[in-house]
Amino acid sequence: MSFGGFSWKRLLGISAAKSRISRSIGIPLTRSGRQRKLGAAFGCAMTIVSIVILIAATAVLAMIR
């Protein structure tokens, strides 16, 4: 809870500690951060899968002809 820019968590160092832990383990501690990271990884995987499917389809078509 913040009152006019004041935050108890920030004063006590909780925000900085969470940030350090998150960076060291490589996994975001917030739900939105985890979803964003998963979405980025899934998007990259989809690109690779699409390329592999395209190459496989081309090879199959070449064998048919």
- Report the distance separating Cα 13 and Cα 34, nearest Å: 22
Tell me: the pLDDT tens digits for 10-40?
888 988 998 999 999 888 888 888 888 888 8
The pLDDT of 44-64, averaged and rounded, is 87
- What pLDDT, on a 0 to 100 scale, did the predictor assign at position 56? 94
